[in-house]
């Protein structure tokens, strides 16, 4: 393995790690040599995902956590630190409870969206960044969204929370960079996951989106996992404070 991508001896935590982008990222990091801790609020799904990786001879542990509960976030980090170190955190957990115009979103929709998509990631960062500083470095990656860089008909509330998440990455990168800690965000385009099912089932939308994407296809979870691996490995050692768009070119296309 090339040393720029060698994660042997490293420990990585992936929230939202039992499926989709989170699972693809955890799998790749484990294949690159890291011990990975997969977390989601579904305990059975966490353990199932981890057991599949262990069956392949990879180092993986499943630890359930509802990231919307700060006490559970604290317990999750404590469990990971029981492994002796924490080198990388990939924050994939997210929710989109409201689909439709912003003015129709309820107070409960606003509270849940920002609690899980923004506050939970701050709680996680607040707990892990001092540990990374003590170790002499580390990498934190937030999974954002292309929607945060565009106007949206239906997922505006979700987009607002992801725009704030990208700003959180920039602020933390400035504040923690002097200690060797890197913080970045990734903004995926439309990725073929269960999370995106509502959009994927809209045939008219899907046809229009693919036509507006220069690569003329949807993204796959591994497309994002590869960028995650870059950002947490030595290959990404001089990248911090960025919001990397991984969308097949949708954002820059004129739709022609």
Asked if residue 158 lies in contact with residue 147, where contact means CB atoms within 8 angstroms, the answer is: yes
Q: What are phi and psi of 183, to 5 degrees?
A: -135, 125
* Of 155, 128, 158, 126, the residue nearest 143 (C-alpha): 158
What is the longest distance spanned by two Cα atoms in the chain? 53
Q: Which residues are CB-neighbours of 62 under 8 A, at least 6 positions away?
A: 18, 37, 38, 39, 43, 46, 47, 48, 49, 50, 51
Q: Please identify every residue annotated as catalytic.
A: 158
* Of 142, 158, 141, 159, the residue nearest 150 (C-alpha): 159
List of long-range contacts for 169-173, beta carbons under 8 Å, 24+ apart: 169/140, 169/142, 169/144, 169/241, 169/242, 169/243, 170/241, 170/243, 172/125, 172/129, 172/140, 173/240, 173/241
Per DSSP, the three-state class of 139 is strand
């Amino acid at each position: 393995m090339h040393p720029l991508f060698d994660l042997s001896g490293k420990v990585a935590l992936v929230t939202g790690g039992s499926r989709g982008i989170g699972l693809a990222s955890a799998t790749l990091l484990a294949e690159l040599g890291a011990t990975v801790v997969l977390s989601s609020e579904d305990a059975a799904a966490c353990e199932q995902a981890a057991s599949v990786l262990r069956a392949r001879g990879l180092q993986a542990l499943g630890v359930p956590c509802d990231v919307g509960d700060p006490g559970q976030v604290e317990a999750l980090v404590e469990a990971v630190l029981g492994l002796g170190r924490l080198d990388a955190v990939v924050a994939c957990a997210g929710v989109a409870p409201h689909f439709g115009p912003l003015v129709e979103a309820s107070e409960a929709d606003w509270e849940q969206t920002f609690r899980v998509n923004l506050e939970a990631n701050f709680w996680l960062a607040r707990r892990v960044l001092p540990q990374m500083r003590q170790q002499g470095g580390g990498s934190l990656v937030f999974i954002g969204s292309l929607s945060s860089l565009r106007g949206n008909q239906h997922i505006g509330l979700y987009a607002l929370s992801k725009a704030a998440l990208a700003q959180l990455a920039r602020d933390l990168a400035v504040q923690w960079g002097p200690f060797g800690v890197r913080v970045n965000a990734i903004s995926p385009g439309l990725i073929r996951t269960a999370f995106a099912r509502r959009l994927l089932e809209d045939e008219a939308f899907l046809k229009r989106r693919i036509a507006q994407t220069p690569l003329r296809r949807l993204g796959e979870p591994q497309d994002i996992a590869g960028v995650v691996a870059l950002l947490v490995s030595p290959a990404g050692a001089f990248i911090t404070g960025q919001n990397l768009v991984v969308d097949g070119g949708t954002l820059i296309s004129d739709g022609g």
